[in-house]
């Protein structure tokens, strides 16, 4: 089996090796010289051939077999075919390059393996012919068995690997074969573990499935680990392909129903742990698509669906999820939209975009769409419920003639549309002069005189009538109109104060409400400064009311913002005080002048004070911090008495005056007797 005809090119042996082989047998052509650690210093060409190694590949590697100078041992060499050769190795001490080494001469006599049917033979055959890469390693991780499939998988020969540490670098990513090896060594049996990105033959990345188990030595003690590896690279590729195909619609390349369902469910699950923002689902179906498809033919019909999907994708935000969930149906998850009126707006935009003609086969094709909308949590909290709700809303839209959008719940529909109408109307409210201010007096309790007014905005809509601020201020905050409205209020209030000044009224203080978004806007300070200059007002004439909840949101930033405003010389009040759970330590740091006790503590049943202890505590707290108190919502004499008794500085409420037009307020100030009730 050994190729005796091959030349031994070991011409330099004599020059380096000065020892004399001790053995009595003839030295064979196949010989190796190893150092004391078993590292191969030289291998003859015949030895390389014997071990199926490339020329020069053995030098520097571990010999891997046991050797004892002066002794002969039988060693087994596995052939690529899986056959094993047993040859005898003779060891003798030699001098090699000035150091003591061992020369190993390998007898050319090959022991024939009895072609017996012993279990050992069977096992050998099994290992040799196994389609699995079978590797054994000793306790220190050095390879003791490396079958032919392992050779093919990793591109290293049996001889190259024997005695080598398991190649750590053949694992590229998170899983280390050595880590698994350690676990197996500790007694764990690892079955079918997938390791991706191992470095395989010719540096290619491969995926393998591995089985590892600990093996015992002759004395029954842990002797090492047996590894079996199956190359699953091909299977993984097919699986990934199937996943792609299964998750996507081949016609449009969009996610399909399954994928949509999965992502929606994931979002719903994720949202459960967060604040419950509405999640909006849209089902869009093309009207009379069957007829269009029939007249166009299947090829152009497919093209139309592709064009529709492109237009839809262009119209939506990138964060939204668009899927093709049926022949002519698309599902949309609006991830960038948090208000139901915005969903109506998106639906309208999609319909408008689809209404533009499609050019197919030289013809203009017109399509319309019906859209159903559902929202979590109102219409359901899982994906099935929401999709079903959007589906049935879409069906309803189709029944009613198509070319429209509908919410699943009619009330939601009305609410969303009303809000949308309101929002659209609000956009024009300022320019159409529909906003106006009323002023509610703030009265000094001890002196019984009006010392200030609070400006309260109203919206007079030509059709909808008078709309209270509680209905449109939050809407203005959401749709970005609050800055404009806030600036208008500030200027209108300052202008009014100047008009009163010019009319000879005593100098009043003007309180103006500031909303959360306005307060966070860095332009607020400049707008205030400008309004003061423009309307010839001393800064102390203006007081800004900030709600407690605004101030508690990001306290250190809020303090900075308040300090910038205070630097203008204006006054600051905390509105609705007591409802936002101010931290008392922060309160001391807030540069505020006034605490406005929230109405909910003042207005009790039958004109009683609602929560006397809280009102008393706020008055004491404010006095301690050097702040003024003003009680809101004072409607009865009992409440007024209580506030008087507990040294509340000012009161504001229906008992004294409702918010009113500026002309009436001027009359009231000029005739204050009508204001103060007989106590
Ligand atoms: P607020 O700043 O706490 O204003 C006090 C509210 O209580 C006003 O309601 C006022 O009319 C009402 N009120 C005053 N005295 C009494 C009373 O004795 N009994 C009862 N039941 N109510 C009384 P309004 O005008 O509807 O304003 C509501 C809220 O809208 C205000 O609460 C404020 O947060 C906001 N707001 C009003 N105008 C503006 C504005 O120009 N800008 C901003 N950002 N918010 C405003
Ligand atoms: Mg206020
Ligand atoms: Mg208030």
* Residues in the 5 Å CB sphere of ion ligand 2: 513, 545, 575
What is the percentage of the chain residues whose pLDDT exceeds 70? 90
Does residue 309 register a pLDDT over 60?
Answer: yes
The yes-or-no verdict on residue 58 having pLDDT over 60 is yes
pLDDT of residue 82: 62
Query: What pLDDT is attached to residue 327?
Result: 92
116-140 confidence digits (pLDDT tens):
455 677 787 788 888 899 999 888 8
Mean pLDDT of 246-250: 86
Q: What is the pLDDT of residue 123?
A: 81
Q: Is 322 in the pocket of ligand 1 (CB under 6 A)?
A: no
573 alpha carbon, closest ligand:
2
Please list all protein residues whose beta carbon sits less than 5 angstroms from ligand 3, which is an ion: 575-576, 632
Phi, psi of 109 (to 5 degrees): -80, 120
Which residue's alpha carbon is nearest to atom 9 within ligand 1? Answer: 456
pLDDT tens digit sequence for 503-541: 999 999 999 999 998 999 999 999 999 999 999 999 999
User: Residue 337 — very low, low, confident or very high, per pLDDT cuts 50/70/90?
Assistant: confident
* Mean pLDDT lowest among 1-15, 104-118, 187-201, 273-287: 1-15
Span 458-468, average pLDDT: 94
Residue 271 or 349, more confident? 349
Residues 268-279 as b/e (b if ≥16 CB within 10 A, e otherwise) read beebeeeeeebb
pLDDT digits (tens, 9 = 90+) for 584-631: 888 989 999 999 999 999 999 899 999 999 999 999 999 999 999 999
Confidence tier at 113 by pLDDT (50, 70, 90): low
In CATH terms, is domain 130-235 a member of 3.30.450.20? Answer: yes
Q: What is the pLDDT of residue 272?
A: 62
For 573-584, write each residue's pLDDT tens digit. Answer: 999 999 877 778
pLDDT at 105 over 90: no
- Whether the CB-CB separation of 593 and 571 falls below 8 Å is answered with yes
Q: Structure tokens of 252?
A: 């449009």
Which architecture characterizes domain 426-673 according to CATH?
Answer: Alpha-Beta Barrel (3.20)
Of 568, 570, 526, 569, the C-alpha closest to 546 is 570
User: Which residues make up the CATH 3.30.70.270 domain(s) of the chain?
Assistant: 250-408
pLDDT for 168 equals 57
Q: What is the pLDDT of residue 104?
A: 87
Say yes or no to pLDDT of 57 above 90. no
- Residue 276: pLDDT band (50, 70, 90) is low
Q: How many CB atoms lie within 10 A of CB 586?
A: 14
Can you give the pLDDT at residue 490? 98
CATH class given for the domain over 250-408: alpha beta
Percent helix, strand and coil across the chain, each rounded to 5? 40, 30, 30
CB 531, CB 562: distance < 8 Å: no
Q: Which ligand 1 atom lies nearest to the CA of residue 654?
A: 18
pLDDT at 22: 41
Give residue 167's pLDDT: 60
The stretch 135-159 carries a mean pLDDT of: 85
Residue 446 pLDDT > 80? yes
pLDDT reported for residue 143 = 86
> Residue 245: pLDDT above 90?
no
pLDDT at residue 429 in the model: 95
What is the pLDDT at residue 478? 80
- What are the start-end ranges of the H helices in 503-580? 516-520, 524-534, 548-553, 555-566
Mean residue pLDDT of the chain comes to 86
Residue 644 in this model has a pLDDT that exceeds 90: yes
Closest ligand to C-alpha of residue 470 is 1
CA-nearest of 419, 309, 318 to 353 is 309
Q: What separation in Å is there between the alpha carbon of 514 and the centre of ligand 2?
A: 8
CA nearest neighbour of 357 among 344, 345, 366, 370: 366
Of 513, 527, 599, best ligand 1 pocket probe by most atoms within 8 Å of the beta carbon: 513
Confidence of residue 63 (pLDDT cuts 50, 70, 90): confident
Assigned CATH topology for domain 6-116:
Beta-Lactamase (3.30.450)
Give the residue range(s) of CATH 3.30.450.20 domains in the chain. Answer: 6-116, 130-235
Checking if the pLDDT of 677 tops 80, the result is: no
For residues 59 and 27, give the distance between their C-alpha atoms in angstroms, rounded to a whole number.
Answer: 20
pLDDT at 24: 40
Distance 261 CA to ligand 3 centre (A): 45
The Cα angle at residue 476 between residues 473 and 481, in degrees rounded to 5: 135
Ligand nearest to the CA of 633: 1
Atom of ligand 1 nearest to the CA of 512: 41
Asked if residue 466 has its Cβ within 6 Å of ligand 1, the reply is: no
Angle at which helices 383-399 and 257-272 cross, to 10° = 120
Between 196-210, 353-367, 412-426, the lowest mean confidence (pLDDT) is in 196-210
* pLDDT band at 4; cut points 50, 70, 90: very low
| Best CA proximity match to 508, nearest among 570, 572, 454 | 454
Mean pLDDT computed over 41-49: 88
3-state secondary structure of 60: coil
484, pLDDT greater than 60: yes
Whose Cα sits closest to atom 13 in ligand 1?
633
Q: Is the CB of 473 under 6 A from ligand 1?
A: yes
Ligand 3 centroid to 633 CA: how many Å? Answer: 8
Alpha-carbon span 285 to 308, nearest angstrom = 11
Looking at residues 277-281, what average pLDDT do you find?
Answer: 87
Instruction: Report residue 549's pLDDT band, with 50, 70 and 90 as the boundaries.
Output: confident
In which residue ranges of the chain is CATH 3.20.20.450 found? Answer: 426-673
Read off the pLDDT of residues 10-31 as tens digits, 9 standing for 90 and up: 333 333 445 444 434 444 588 8
Q: At 173, is the pLDDT very low, low, confident or very high (cuts 50, 70, 90)?
A: very low
How far is the centre of ligand 1, averaged over its atoms, from the C-alpha of 66 (Å)? Answer: 95
Per-residue model confidence (pLDDT) at position 450: 94
């Amino acid at each position: 089996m050994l190729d005796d005809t091959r030349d031994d090119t070991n011409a330099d042996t004599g020059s380096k090796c000065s020892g004399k082989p001790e053995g009595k047998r003839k030295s064979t052509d196949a010989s190796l010289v190893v150092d004391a650690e078993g590292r191969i210093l030289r291998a003859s060409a015949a030895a390389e051939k014997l071990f199926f190694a490339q020329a020069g590949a053995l030098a520097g590697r571990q010999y891997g077999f046991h050797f004892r100078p002066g002794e002969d041992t039988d060693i087994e060499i596995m052939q690529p075919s899986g056959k094993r050769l047993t040859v005898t190795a003779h060891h003798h001490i030699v001098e090699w390059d000035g150091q003591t080494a061992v020369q190993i001469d390998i007898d050319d006599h090959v022991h024939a393996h009895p072609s017996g049917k012993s279990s050992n033979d069977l096992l050998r055959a099994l290992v040799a012919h196994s389609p699995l890469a079978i590797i054994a390693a000793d306790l220190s991780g050095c390879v003791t068995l490396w079958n032919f499939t392992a050779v093919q998988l990793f591109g290293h020969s049996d001889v190259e690997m024997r005695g080598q540490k398991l190649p750590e670098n053949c694992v590229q990513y998170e899983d280390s074969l050595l880590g698994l090896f350690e676990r197996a060594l500790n007694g764990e049996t690892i079955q079918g573990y997938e390791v991706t990105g191992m470095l395989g033959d010719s540096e290619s990345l491969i995926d393998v499935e591995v089985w590892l188990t600990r093996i015992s030595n002759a004395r029954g003690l842990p002797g090492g680990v047996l590894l079996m590896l199956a190359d699953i690279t091909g299977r993984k590729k097919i699986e990934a392909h199937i996943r792609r195909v299964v998750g996507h619609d081949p016609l449009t390349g969009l996610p399909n129903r399954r994928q949509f369902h999965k992502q929606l469910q994931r979002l719903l699950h994720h949202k459960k742990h967060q604040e419950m923002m509405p999640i909006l689902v849209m089902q869009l179906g093309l009207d009379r698509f069957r007829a269009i498809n029939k007249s166009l033919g299947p090829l152009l019909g497919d093209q139309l669906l592709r064009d529709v999907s492109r237009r839809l994708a262009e119209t939506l935000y990138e964060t939204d999820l668009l899927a093709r969930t049926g022949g002519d149906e698309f599902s949309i998850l609006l991830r960038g939209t948090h208000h139901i009126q915005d969903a109506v707006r998106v639906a309208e935009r999609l319909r408008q975009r689809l209404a533009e003609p499609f050019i197919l086969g030289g013809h203009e094709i017109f399509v319309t769409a019906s859209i159903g909308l559902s929202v979590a949590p109102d219409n359901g909290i899982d994906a099935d419920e929401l999709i079903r709700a959007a589906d049935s809303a879409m069906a309803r839209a189709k029944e009613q003639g198509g070319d429209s959008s509908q919410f699943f719940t009619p009330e939601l529909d009305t609410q969303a549309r009303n809000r949308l109408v309101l929002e659209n109307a609000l956009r024009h409210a300022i320019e159409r002069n529909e906003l106006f201010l009323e002023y509610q007096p703030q009265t000094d309790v001890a002196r019984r005189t009006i010392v200030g007014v609070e400006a309260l905005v109203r919206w007079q809509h030509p059709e909808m009538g008078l709309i209270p601020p509680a209905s449109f201020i939050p809407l203005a905050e959401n749709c970005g109109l609050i800055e404009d409205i806030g600036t208008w209020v500030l200027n209108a209030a300052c202008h009014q104060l100047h008009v009163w000044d010019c009319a000879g009224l005593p100098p009043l203080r003007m309180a103006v409400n500031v909303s959360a978004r306005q307060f966070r806007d860095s332009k607020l300070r400049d707008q205030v400064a400008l309004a003061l200059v423009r309307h010839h007002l001393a800064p102390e004439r203006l007081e800004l009311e900030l709600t407690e909840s605004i101030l508690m949101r990001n306290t250190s930033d809020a303090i900075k913002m308040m300090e910038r405003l205070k630097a203008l010389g204006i006054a600051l009040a905390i509105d609705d005080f007591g409802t936002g759970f101010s931290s008392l330590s922060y309160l001391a740091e807030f540069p505020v002048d006034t605490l406005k006790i929230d109405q909910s503590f003042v207005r009790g049943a039958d004109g009683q004070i609602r929560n006397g202890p809280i009102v008393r505590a706020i008055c004491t707290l404010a006095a301690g911090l050097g702040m003024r108190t003003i009680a809101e919502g004072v409607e009865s004499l009992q409440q007024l008495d209580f506030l008087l008794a507990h040294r509340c500085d000012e009161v504001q409420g229906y008992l004294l005056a409702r918010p009113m037009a500026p002309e009436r307020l001027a009359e009231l100030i000029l005739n204050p007797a009508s204001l103060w009730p007989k106590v």
